[in-house]
Structure 1
Amino acid sequence: MTLYPVPESVARARRWFRKFISPYAPACSIDDCVLMISELVTNAVLYGEAEDSWRVRVEWWRVGESLLVDVHNPGFPAQVRIRRPDASDAHGRGLLLVDALSDSWSAGPSRFGGTRVSFRIDGAWKR
């Protein structure tokens, strides 16, 4: 899915994922996946930057029994890090949630240029 870098795209990404994943009946929590996608798309919208117009891209696919999700934006990969916010901080928990809910996550260069942040859910489909 290709999204404009605007706050409304977060809700669109959630709806899109639910619509297209449901027919596959994954064994994992769709709600957890939607939460992680929300956090990553929010980060992409907030922290992506480019001189020209740009988009956020969300991809997902099945590899064996695992679900893989990638979120791409034109930001800088080296800036992706888990923050340790204080209890009074209103922001900064997105990657903490992804780290807690996924089996693994990673960040690095995107094949589109910029940044790719991914998460993997093992056992999303049983063979």
Structure 2
Amino acid sequence: MICTIDRHPSEDSPRLGAMNLHPLPDSVGIARRWFRKFIAPYEPACSVDDCVLMISELVTNAIVYGRSEDPWVVRVEWFREGTSLRVEVHNPGFPANVRLRCPDANDAHGRGLLLVDSIAESWHHGPSRFGGTVVSFVVADAWTT
């Protein structure tokens, strides 16, 4: 199995869901599909397509840049914080290696964080509570109440 899902967060947690993905290219599509499926019951007012695009970019980066000598997973978690949605993507990479690039028009790569920066209300990177790196984004007004 490429993915495990946490469908039932505790009642007092703002976490709406989480998934663990193997660091394989197929996991990007799985992350998109599962996020759509598990966010739908919460009826967000924001663009789920925009969220899926940003998740796709961050999971791709996590797979490409995550490093560990031990078996590892990419962890994706999503939270409701008031009317905002926060999505975190964790991997065993190094936080100092996360950077926003300005690729040339002919560059085939390097636009992931640029997309996140242009769509999200804000984004952040740093050390993950699981070890390694977390990159997160916030979508404001994801819910009306």
| Both proteins in one fold, TM over 0.5 | yes
CA displacement, residues 17-63 of structure 1 (integer Å, 9 cap, x when unaligned): 00001111111000000000000000000000001110000000101
1:73 is the counterpart of 2:91: yes
Partner of 1:35: 53
Paired residues, number: 127
Which amino acid letter does the alignment assign opposite residue 110 of structure 1? S
CA distance in 2, matches of 1:62, 1:99: 20
Unaligned runs of 5+ in 1: none
Alignment map for 1:1-80 (pairs within 5 Å): 1-80=19-98
AA of the residue aligned to 2:65? Y
Amino acid at match of 1:118: S
CA distance in 2 between partners of 1:76 and 1:19 (Å): 30
Q: Distance in 1 between matches of 2:41 and 2:130?
A: 29
- Identity in percent: 71
> TM-score, with normalisation over the residues of structure 2?
0.87
Larger proportion of helix = 1
TM-score, length-scaled by structure 1: 0.99
Aligned Cα root-mean-square deviation (Å): 0.4
